[in-house]
């Protein structure tokens, strides 16, 4: 059986069909916010306690770039959680992705970290989980994160527009459009 329409049209239909969060998605969003906050607290403690993970190159610009994607990412999760839909969060997700891309590329270039101290705050028996990460691997992860975030920043507005058009089309055809779907 041949699928209807172009590849893009099929993708829009899939995005539209999966826009509404399931109950498990809400749990995932709460868990994501908690995990983001725990990881952030780890980095803040590393910085305050001067463990050596953040080097002297970690100045105000690097600090802003490092931490600004965090509240944006939490905002994405909270928008999804409160609306019950993915699409209303996509513009903020695009902003977060671009902020993350800029941060990754800048931090890759400056690299104000010493991963030899990354595991310093982890309790002794668990330290091996993070102590093996070398600086060159962390730099590579920053580069990949920057490229992926840039791609995501370009992708999210396209998905947002397509799904929003699909909701408008469904509304114009007389179909019930769920509250919070952001059709206006």
> Each residue of 109-126: pLDDT tens digit?
999 999 999 999 999 888
Is it the case that residue 53 has pLDDT exceeding 90? yes
Tens of pLDDT, residues 154-172: 999 999 999 999 888 887 8
- Whether 150 and 98 have beta carbons less than 8 Å apart is answered as yes
Residue 82: other Cβ atoms inside 10 A = 13
Q: Nearest 10 degrees: CA dihedral of 20, 21, 23, 26?
A: -150
Q: Is the entire prediction scored with pTM above 0.75?
A: yes
In the chain, where the domains are located: 22-172
Q: For a pLDDT cut of 90, what percent of the chain falls above it?
A: 71
Residue 117 is given by DSSP the state G
Q: How many Å apart are CA 124 and CA 105, to the nearest integer?
A: 32
């Amino acid at each position: 059986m041949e699928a209807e329409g172009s590849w893009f049209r099929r993708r829009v239909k899939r995005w539209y069909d999966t826009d509404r969060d399931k109950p498990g998605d809400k749990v995932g969003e709460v868990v994501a916010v908690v995990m983001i906050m725990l990881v952030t607290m780890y980095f803040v403690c590393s910085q305050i306690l001067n463990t050596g993970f953040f080097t002297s190159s970690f100045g105000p610009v690097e600090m802003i770039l490092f931490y600004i994607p965090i509240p944006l990412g939490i905002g994405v999760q909270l928008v999804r959680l409160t609306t019950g839909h993915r699409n209303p969060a996509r513009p903020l997700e695009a902003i977060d992705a671009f902020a993350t891309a800029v941060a990754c590329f800048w931090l890759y270039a400056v690299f104000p970290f010493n991963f030899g101290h990354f595991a310093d705050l982890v309790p002794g028996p668990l330290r091996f989980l993070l102590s093996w990460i070398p600086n060159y691997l962390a730099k590579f992860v920053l580069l990949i994160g920057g490229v992926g975030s840039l791609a995501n920043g370009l992708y999210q507005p396209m998905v947002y527009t397509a799904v929003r058009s699909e909701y408008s089309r469904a509304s114009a055809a007389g179909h019930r459009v769920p509250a919070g779907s952001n059709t206006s």
